[in-house]
Amino acid sequence: MATRHTREWERAVAEFLASPVDDEAREHGRAVVADVLAAAVAGSAAPGVAGVARAGAFADGEATILGTDRQVAPPQAAMTNAAAAIAQEIEEGHNTGGHVGAGIVAGGLAVAEANDVDGETFVDACTRAYEVCVRLERAIFAMKARMNDAIPWLVRNPHSTWTTVGPAVTSALCLDATAEELAETFRIAANLAVVSMHDPYAEGAPARNFTAGFSAQAGVTAALTALAGLEGSHAAIEAVYDPFEDLLPDGFAGQFETLGAEWAIAEHYVKPYPSCRYTHPPLDALREAVDGRSAEGGAADPGDIESIVVRTFANATDMSNAEPETMTAGKFSAPYVLATYLCRGSVDLDGFTDEALADETVRSVAARVELREDDGYEAAFPESWGASVTVELRDGTTLTGARDYPRGDYRDPMPDAEYRERNRALLVHGLSGGSDDDRAEGKNVADARIEEALDALDAAAERPVRETVAALRP
């Protein structure tokens, strides 16, 4: 039966998913795949994720839970790996498309490994899904803003329809779905939304990360059921998505006219620091204000600081919890992140352990940080994520710094050597189990293993997916 497209934008999606990926876009896709896989390995040792990975009552299969030797059924591997991918808050993202890659890569990886897919097919599938999901996310976020005005607790966690569509489409492409099967996969997934009624980022409950995992699991299941003959809803495409036309300034359908001509994936960002992206502009502005003032050449002496005022866009001002009690809560606290940098001279994975969170000096500095919304930065958001910082010292000195967008943005990319070292640290953390003792004990053995894993990430588009995954096991 010929595929019937309900709307022209749906036809545009189908035609794009069947079109080739050019070399430049594929390289961006490989970079996204590598970034998410490194983040997921590090996240495999995170609270909550590690326990589920070890003790979850999962069916045996051929899909690896990253950071472990365990293989389970693809939907369950997708769930655990997607939760791991966001757990350390170090995964890539897109300024106007959220953390697009996590579900796409973690979900699609499970199906690709289980079905022995080659690297180029997998990377191209991820790249195509990324383009569709960035465009869907813009509309979903506009809808969420309106819904949250009416029902404040609804759709609070940003892992909903677009994070289901991504792994569904990627999986279907990796399974060599027919045009009809791919269309049904999209329709099934496009009418699903895995959401939580509250986003507990300030509390930091580890279950928060599994909302992303459940989205990836649902996406993989959508693809598997579509290839088994399940049909999606034509009516849902009209009823759900037609209203989006009035929600976006340039309309909804027009978003898809640029598929294949404009590659949103070329504007993805990477994170230098393992914390919510909203904390990065204030941190980079702080670094501009204070770096080089201490005897060690790093940040200013915390004892000299009277106050820190951050001016930034509205969403970033939500990151105001100055007394985080958990790893995740710390990653969503701008006061804590800034105080950590001032006291430790860096913001890395070790800055969010229980011991680090209890550091009274850090907590004292965090209490002196104030976040304020700035009209200029808010007007520029989300194309640019900016912040300025004013630091008042006890001797009366005022230090200032400002950023229009944070480091790691496509307009200010991380140097290759620095980025490789970041990934090295993530892989060591995950493959050693996350503890200092394990990392110290296994260092000599790990060095060659980590180099192999780094090389595998670099070659993700050239090697079979199973070879890449094998390099990411302990």
163 alpha-carbon distance from chain centroid: 11
Mean pLDDT by 10 residues, the chain (474 residues): 76 95 97 98 96 96 96 98 97 90 96 98 98 90 71 58 92 97 96 82 88 95 97 91 86 93 96 97 97 61 94 95 96 98 95 97 97 97 95 95 97 96 96 60 66 96 98 93
Sign, Cα dihedral of 44, 161, 74, 459: negative
In a domain, 430, yes or no: no
147 alpha-carbon distance from chain centroid: 23
Q: Are residues 248 and 338 in the same domain?
A: no
User: Of the residues 354, 386, 403, which one is the last residue of a structural domain?
Assistant: 403
In a domain, 392, yes or no: yes
Contact 352, 274 (CB under 8 A): yes
Beta bridge partners of 64: 71
Q: Are residues 160 and 284 in the same domain?
A: no
Helix (H) or strand (E) holding 312: strand 305-312
The label of the residue with tokens 């897109």 reads 94
Contact 276, 33 (CB under 8 A): no
Beta bridge partners of 399: 391
User: Of the residues 403, 434, 465, which one is the last residue of a structural domain?
Assistant: 403
In a domain, 458, yes or no: no
Q: Strand (E) positions, 34-179?
A: 60-64, 71-72, 93-94
| Cβ neighbours of residue 135 closer than 8 Å, sequence gap 6 or more | 97, 255, 256, 259, 264
In a domain, 107, yes or no: yes
Q: Report d(CA 294, CA 177) in Å as an integer.
A: 59
Q: CATH code at 399?
A: 3.30.1330.120
Q: Report d(CA 155, CA 278) in Å as an integer.
A: 19
Q: Are residues 256 and 284 in the same domain?
A: no
Q: Are residues 227 and 348 in the same domain?
A: no
Q: Are residues 146 and 246 in the same domain?
A: yes
In this structure, what token pair is assigned to residue 393? 């010292």
Q: Are residues 306 and 212 in the same domain?
A: no
Q: CATH code at 180?
A: 1.10.4100.10
In a domain, 441, yes or no: no
Dihedral, 313, 314, 316, 321 alpha carbons, nearest 10: 140
In a domain, 423, yes or no: no
Q: Are residues 95 and 212 in the same domain?
A: yes
Q: Are residues 147 and 257 in the same domain?
A: yes
- Give DSSP secondary structure letters for 242-253: GGGGGTSTT-SG
Burial class of residue 177, CB neighbours in 10 A (0-12, 13-18, 19+): buried
Helix (H, G, I), strand (E, B) or coil at 143: helix
In this structure, what token pair is assigned to residue 386? 């900016």
In this structure, what token pair is assigned to residue 463? 């090697």
Q: Are residues 252 and 282 in the same domain?
A: no
User: Of the residues 249, 269, 289, which one is the last residue of a structural domain?
Assistant: 269
Number of domains making up the chain = 2
The label of the residue with tokens 């700035």 reads 374
Ramachandran bin of 329, using left for φ above 0, alpha for ψ from -120 to 50, beta for the remaining angles: alpha
In a domain, 119, yes or no: yes
Contact 174, 125 (CB under 8 A): yes
The label of the residue with tokens 């930065």 reads 377
Beta bridge partners of 309: 370, 390
Q: Are residues 190 and 288 in the same domain?
A: no
Sign, Cα dihedral of 24, 27, 31, 37: positive
CA-wise closest residue to 238 among 226, 255, 252:
252
Dihedral, 248, 105, 43, 319 alpha carbons, nearest 10: -10
Domain coverage including residue 381: 277-403
In this structure, what token pair is assigned to residue 260? 């294949």
pLDDT, residue 317, reads 96
133-142 in b/e burial notation, b at 16+ Cβ within 10 A?
A: bbbbbbbbbb
Contact 399, 285 (CB under 8 A): no
Q: Are residues 398 and 382 in the same domain?
A: yes
Beta bridge partners of 398: 392
Q: Are residues 40 and 164 in the same domain?
A: yes
Beta bridge partners of 189: none
CA-wise closest residue to 272 among 452, 426, 129:
426
Whole-model pTM over 0.85: yes
Q: Report d(CA 229, CA 141) in Å as an integer.
A: 31
In a domain, 3, yes or no: no
| Cα dist from 175 to 118, 148, 255, 412, whole Å | 11, 37, 27, 37
| Cβ neighbours of residue 322 closer than 8 Å, sequence gap 6 or more | 333, 335, 336, 363, 366, 367, 369
Q: Report d(CA 272, CA 408) in Å as an integer.
A: 6
Sign, Cα dihedral of 461, 466, 471, 473: positive
Q: Report d(CA 356, CA 37) in Å as an integer.
A: 26
